[in-house]
Amino acid sequence: MQLFIVIFVIIILILPNLVIVSEQYEFIIEQLGKYHHTMRAGINFKIPFIQHIRNKVNLKEHIHDFPPQSVITKDNVTMMIDTVVYCKVFDSYKNTYMIQNGVEAIEKITATTLRNIVGTMELDELLTARDKINGHLLKEVDEATDVWGIKVTRLEIKNIMPPAEIKEAMDRQMKAEREKRATILEAEALKQKDITIAEGKKDAMLMEAEAKAKAIELVAKAEAEAIRVINEQKPSQEYIKLQAIKSVKDLANGQATKIVVSSDISSLTSNIVALSEVVKNK
């Protein structure tokens, strides 16, 4: 019976004080109201009635999407900017004893730092310098949260919302810019089209001229070859007279209706004298 009572007391006292800490968690243990030690992942034991768990700290990275903050630019434009912060606890002791509400503190320090940065920039610069602002914000906020045991790993501007009238003006400007680019592209296309057509005509004329020159060259070579062959064959007077008659026919060129030639056909080889009465068709 006494053994049963002893075992029962041990179970009552020991089992509730066995603490299992999960991975990526740390438990802050206080003894008689003062910090004593930090429990890591695994099985731990605390002294009954003397020690208790002060805080269970999650070491995982957290994402905090803060609501939009009102900011004023250097040229007095009021707009809303919302941010997203990625952070995690790297020191459980500091996170427990150095700050009351770490998330709220990060939100406030982010908002004030953002207002300071935006206050030195004009609207146009603000809209195009998001990466610069992100880097500056991350540096300032991370330095401020070190004393709280919190590491800010990433800080991004999620959205920039200018006033409605500013947004309408920007939309009109963007539309005008797009129309301008479209007009320029259309003009460039027409210009390129005209250039292409002109180059095509130029190439066609050059090819035609080259073809005519080639044809003339071939005809001249053929005639020269024909003359050479004829000369080598030593043509007779009758053949020469026949060619003279053909020459007179070619001289008429189809435009004359009456041709008068010398009776001495042999004289055509040296001096062709023709008198033609030409009647041209209107």
Q: Identify whether 152 is part of a domain.
A: yes
Q: Classify residue 198: in a domain, yes or no.
A: no
Which of 162, 183, 202 represents a domain boundary (last residue)? 162
Q: Are residues 53 and 81 in the same domain?
A: no
Residue 41 has pLDDT above 70, yes or no: yes
E strands present in 66-189 = 69-72, 78-89, 150-161
| 50-73: average pLDDT | 90
> Is residue 223 domain-resident?
no
Q: What is the pLDDT of residues 93-137, one digit of tens each?
A: 999 999 888 899 999 999 999 999 888 888 888 888 888 888 899
Nearest by Cα to 55 from 106, 94, 16: 94
Which band of pLDDT confidence, cut at 50, 70 and 90, is reported for residue 248?
low
On whether residue 145 sits in a domain, the answer given is: yes
Same domain for 67 and 99: yes
Q: Are residues 50 and 96 in the same domain?
A: no
The DSSP symbol for 253 reads T
Indicate the pLDDT class of residue 163, thresholds 50, 70 and 90.
Answer: confident
Note whether residue 216 is domain-resident. no
Q: How far apart are CA 173 and CA 182, in angstroms?
A: 14
Q: Name which of 129-138, 175-184, 201-210, 243-252 the model is least confident about.
A: 243-252
Residue 149 DSSP symbol: T
Q: Which amino acid is at 244?
A: A
82 CB-contact burial (10 Å; exposed 0-12 / middle 13-18 / buried 19+): middle
| 73 shares a domain with 53 | no
User: Which residues share a beta bridge with 130?
Assistant: none
DSSP at 41: S
Smallest CA-to-CA distance from 248 within 268, 226, 277, 278 is with 268
How many domains does one find in the chain?
Answer: 3
The reply to whether 111 falls in a domain is: yes
* Residues 51 and 68 both lie in one domain: no
pLDDT at residue 277, rounded to an integer? 40
Q: Does any domain span residue 184? A: no
Are 118 and 33 part of one and the same domain? no
In Å, how far from its chain's centre is CA 143? 35
> CATH no. for residue 77?
3.30.479.30
**pLDDT above 70 for 253:** no
CA angle 253, 256, 259 (to 5 degrees): 105
What amino acid is encoded at 19 in this protein?
A: V
Residue type present at position 150? I
- List Cβ neighbours of 117 (8 Å cut-off, separation of 6 or more): 133, 136, 137
Per-residue pLDDT band at 267 (split at 50, 70, 90): low
Query: What is the span of the domain harbouring residue 31?
Result: 2-58
The one-letter code for the residue type at 254 is: G
**Which residue, of 129, 162, 195, is where some domain finishes?**
162
Write down which residue in 14, 36, 58 finishes a domain: 58
| Residue 142 and residue 120 share a domain | yes
Same domain, 24 and 67: no
- Evaluate if residue 206 carries a pLDDT over 60: yes
Task: Note whether 76 and 50 are same-domain residues.
Answer: no
**How confident is the prediction for the chain on average, in pLDDT?**
80
C-alpha atoms less than 13 angstroms from C-alpha of 228 in its C-beta half-sphere: 6
The residue with greater pLDDT, 161 or 233, is 161
Indicate whether 155 belongs to any domain: yes
Spatial neighbors of 131 by CB under 8 A, at least 6 apart, are none
